[in-house]
């Protein structure tokens, strides 16, 4: 049995069900409020920056939000650290996922693009061309 399965089995679902349902309802209301809000785009960008920094915390690394904002604006105050560069790549991946069609990130093309690091928008430097001639893509499609 996997460790993840043991953790899920040990959870006290009766105790956490109500808070989970409340959180789900709150997120649905927030989503509806933001749908027509003038601050929608700013909220999305801010959440991308926060999530990019938070994703590194899982690995025990730290990238300051302020440094990431400056790095994104190409206004670095100092040489970027490896952590900052990783956070910038996560930020680029999140933006790329948002700019593509729903479901793209889990499609074979999306998985190949995200795993290979082609995080810019289509046509930008650093984007890896996605084609069915790609041997990696062929292996993904076989699965």
Residues 3 and 31 in one domain: yes
Residue 37: count of CB within 10 angstroms of its CB? 12
Same structural domain, 94 and 47: yes
Q: Which domain holds residue 58?
A: 39-99
Per-residue pLDDT of 22-75, as tens digits, reads 999 999 999 899 998 999 999 999 999 999 999 998 889 999 999 999 999 999
* 95 shares its domain with 115: no
Instruction: Kindly state whether residues 63 and 89 are assigned to the same domain.
Output: yes
pTM of the model: 0.66
Packing angle, helices 40-57 and 13-35, rounded to 10: 140
Alpha carbon of 38 to those of 20, 30, 57, 69, 110: distances in Å? Answer: 29, 14, 31, 21, 30
Nearest Cα to Cα of residue 86 among 41, 119, 45, 129:
119
Contact 77, 67 (CB under 8 A): yes
**Do 46 and 84 belong to one domain?**
yes
């Amino acid at each position: 049995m996997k460790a993840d399965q043991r953790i899920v089995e040990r959870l006290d679902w009766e105790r956490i069900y109500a808070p989970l349902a409340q959180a789900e309802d709150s997120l649905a209301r927030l989503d509806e409020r933001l749908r027509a809000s003038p601050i929608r785009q700013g909220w999305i960008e801010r959440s991308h920056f926060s999530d990019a920094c938070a994703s590194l915390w899982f690995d025990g690394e730290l990238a300051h939000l302020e440094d990431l904002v400056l790095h994104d604006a190409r206004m670095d105050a100092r040489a970027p650290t490896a952590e900052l560069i990783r956070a910038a790549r996560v930020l680029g991946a999140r933006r790329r996922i948002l700019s593509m069609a729903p479901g793209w990130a889990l499609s074979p093309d999306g998985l190949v693009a995200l795993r290979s690091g082609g995080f810019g928008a289509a046509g930008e430097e650093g984007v890896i061309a996605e084609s069915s001639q790609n041997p990696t893509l062929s292996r993904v499609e076989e699965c």
